Structure 1
Amino acid sequence: MSLSYRIAYVFLRNLYSYKRFVVPTFLVSLVEPLFYLVTFGIGMGAYMGAFGGRPYLHFLVPGVLATAAMMSSSFECLYGTFVKIVHEKVYESLIATPVSADEAVAGDIAWASFRGLISGGLMMAVALAMGVAPAAAWRAAVLLVFLVFVGVLFGSLAMIVTSVSPSFDFFSYYTELVITPMFFFSGVFFPLDNFPGWMKVLAEFLPLTHAVRVSRALFTGDAVPGVGWSLAGLAVLAAAAFTVSTRMMRKRLIK
């Protein structure tokens, strides 16, 4: 793997392109957290009891933050990257310069993680406006850094899918069979303790479960069992996914 400061050039190229769509993207990113927090947090929260001595919204927000980072980074490295490869020929132009294929891919994953940070940051801003705040200010800062890490993980996993995708339609397998089940079975909306035994075991194999666990520990300040192992597992998976994604994308780009 060949990486250098040129990753920053790829990131800045994406940032410059993003400026053209910043207003509609910002509005969409703002509506999404409002939808989740109002529909699930307030709507369902009215029928839910306290979780750990706190209102349901305090349980929900950390999970939704991790989910926002997952969704944004995944879709950026699925649809966004595919458009740049097939339709806009951006990668073709990039690797014709001193930027290597690995650096182009790494720059896009870095950009995807930044998009995840934006989504998570907006989600946190909406939560704060609704009176739902982390246990301490420093925890909010650390949690935002963690969302960047979550973006790298899920951006890398999505990039692996893109490396073998023949068309847009192929992405529906990943979104419907992987992303959507993770969203509902990773403890975002309900504690894993409420799940049947077999479902608890299955949930432990989902990376979003561990991202939600760490996010919740950072947000609430509670001692969450297994959070250290979750963080270590996420780090190993992120490193492996990043390495595999750059290699597989290199094979697709350089034939």
Structure 2
Amino acid sequence: MKKLLNIFSLTISVAFAQDAASVASVQFSGEGLSDLETKTLYNYFMGELEKASDGPLLAQETVDQSVSSLELTTTDCFKKDCLFAAQDATSSNVFLAGTLKFSKSKYRVKLYKVDSTKPGKSKSYRIRYKGDTDGFITELEILAWKVMGKEVPSRLNDKRKPNQETMFEQIAENPWAQRGAVLAVAGLGASSYLKNTAGAAESQKKIDSLPAYDTGGIQAHTDSRDGAKSTATMSLVLTAASLAYGYFTGVFTE
């Protein structure tokens, strides 16, 4: 009987632990850093995430094994469907995944979060930091608290270091600025397309209205029509290319 009670108690404990471990996180996909550097920085993030979470985190080894064959891991897919599939595989209430890049003396993090309390939705968080590694680590630790919707401890806020990005860099890499630039180019292209299409049609009308013997006038309007058509085609290509760039680089999904 005592043995049965022990087994029952162990089963209940395991089940409770699984329920409590409602937060799962996959190690950041790194670029521009060694695997060891990426893992070390990720561990700083996880250290604060554990403090910010109401319950214990799902063991890293368990998470890694659960998502190893999913597109999230095999193709670095961070679309909603890929995130939801990983969340289901880990049976977690909150699932986190993201990228960590280092280039041109600048750290960039993009973290994705899906939460079972907000079905069908994902949220992204960004860090863009230029400065020493200690300053970036502090930003990572602060991010952990923000992701969990908790107030950032004063011990972290007090040791923040200024981001050394210039004003131009901040504007150039701002998602809204990028989106505005893409839409502006697309808008100019569309406007040019409409204007030149109308111009080509007007030239064609004039060609049709001229007598056959007015070869000089016909040729002049033909050249004008063909030039307008060529410009309209290039404008349409520019519009399509700018929108495609925005789509494939994620400008419209930030």
Larger Rg: 1 or 2? 2
Higher relative contact order, structure no. (Cα contacts within 8 Å, ≥ 6 residues apart): 1
Band the TM-score falls in, shorter-chain normalisation: under 0.3
Structure (1/2) with the larger strand percentage: 2
